[in-house]
Amino acid sequence: MCKTALEALKEALGLLESATPLRFDCGQLCAKACCRDDGGDEPNGMLLFPGEEAFYAGQGTWMEMYDSELCFKGEPVKLLVCHLPCPRSLRPLSCRVFPLFPYLKGEKIMPKMDLRAAPLCPLYSSDEAGLSPEFIAAVKQAGEALMQSGTQKAFLALLSAHIGEYWFL
């Protein structure tokens, strides 16, 4: 581990700048279901990685940030909730890896379907086999980039466990 949290995050974001789950815009399949609020009691949003919230300060009205119920190092993890389509270059890492997640298992990164995608993403049922191999490889590389920072690695472990809890709902 030899990078700061911000350096590792920027590297991960860069690896997923252009890689997408399919070779065409998968939002055409579902009217961008993962970007829409379902109108439930809790706002739908994407959890931000350590340091990522700084990129959204003063970025306008297309989104808001909330404190989520998940805590990391004694602080609530920030949740980005979108009201309008984002400037694509500002997609947070959680959006870039979706519908996969780079689960941390032991010391290995395993890009697998994000269990939170099950109720909304039409790609979920086809499993990883239905996704672009380049996208899967980029998610794995992004996870490995995060592992270069102790903070990001600890956060990956937290989110891997948090998402894993969905198995038991």
**Residues within the interface to ligand SF4 (CB under 6 A):** 21, 26-27, 29-30, 32-35, 46, 82, 85-86, 91-92, 95, 98-99, 120-123
CA distance 43 to 154: 25
CA distance 137 to 100: 11
Q: Which is nearer to ligand SF4, 1 or 42 (CB)?
A: 42
Shortest separation between residue 12's beta carbon and ligand SF4, angstroms = 15
Residue of 117, 84, 94 whose CA lies nearest to 47:
94
The answer for residues whose C-beta is within 8 angstroms of residue 81's C-beta and 6 or more apart is 37, 43, 44, 45, 63, 64, 65, 66
Q: Which is nearer to ligand SF4, 33 or 110 (CB)?
A: 33
Q: Which is nearer to ligand SF4, 74 or 133 (CB)?
A: 133
Q: Which is nearer to ligand SF4, 2 or 89 (CB)?
A: 89
Measure Cα distances from 96 to 20, 42, 108, 138 in Å: 8, 22, 20, 10
Contact 114, 99 (CB under 8 A): yes
Q: Which is nearer to ligand SF4, 6 or 81 (CB)?
A: 81
Shortest separation between residue 42's beta carbon and ligand SF4, angstroms = 15
Q: Which residue has the tokens 């970025």?
A: 59
Shortest separation between residue 106's beta carbon and ligand SF4, angstroms = 27
Shortest separation between residue 94's beta carbon and ligand SF4, angstroms = 7
Shortest separation between residue 50's beta carbon and ligand SF4, angstroms = 18
Contact 152, 37 (CB under 8 A): no
